[in-house]
Amino acid sequence: MAHTFEELVGMQRAADAAQAQVEQLRDTFGPPSTHPWSEQQTEVYETAWRAWRDLARDAQAAVTECAKEQGESRYDTEAGVKKAARHLADD
């Protein structure tokens, strides 16, 4: 499935937001080695982590596909997508 640049940026922004949620949970719960997490905290964290992993995986696959279809470097395509996603997030 072909993706537009804007779709790739949206996918990257979703993955970045999911990563931020995982980091926020980690900060809120504290390190599990010094602050053992409850079963509920562990479940919430693992669910958020899986969401981040899945969104990041899907974004990476779409970037790879788009770069291949456009005959561009995957690295350059990914860098452009991440730059645009993070620029939009900073506005």
Q: Please say if the pLDDT value at position 1 is more than 70.
A: no
Query: End-to-end distance of the chain based on CA atoms, in angstroms?
Result: 30
Report domain extents, the chain.
Answer: 14-29+37-90
- Reference 11, options 49, 66, 90; nearest CA is 66
Q: What is the pLDDT of residue 89?
A: 53
The model's pTM: 0.87
Q: What is the pLDDT of residues 2-17, one digit of tens each?
A: 789 999 999 999 999 9
Q: Please say if the pLDDT value at position 67 is more than 90.
A: yes
Q: At what angle do helices 74-90 and 5-29 cross, to 10 degrees?
A: 60
Q: What is the pLDDT of residues 28-59, one digit of tens each?
A: 999 888 889 999 999 999 999 999 999 999 99
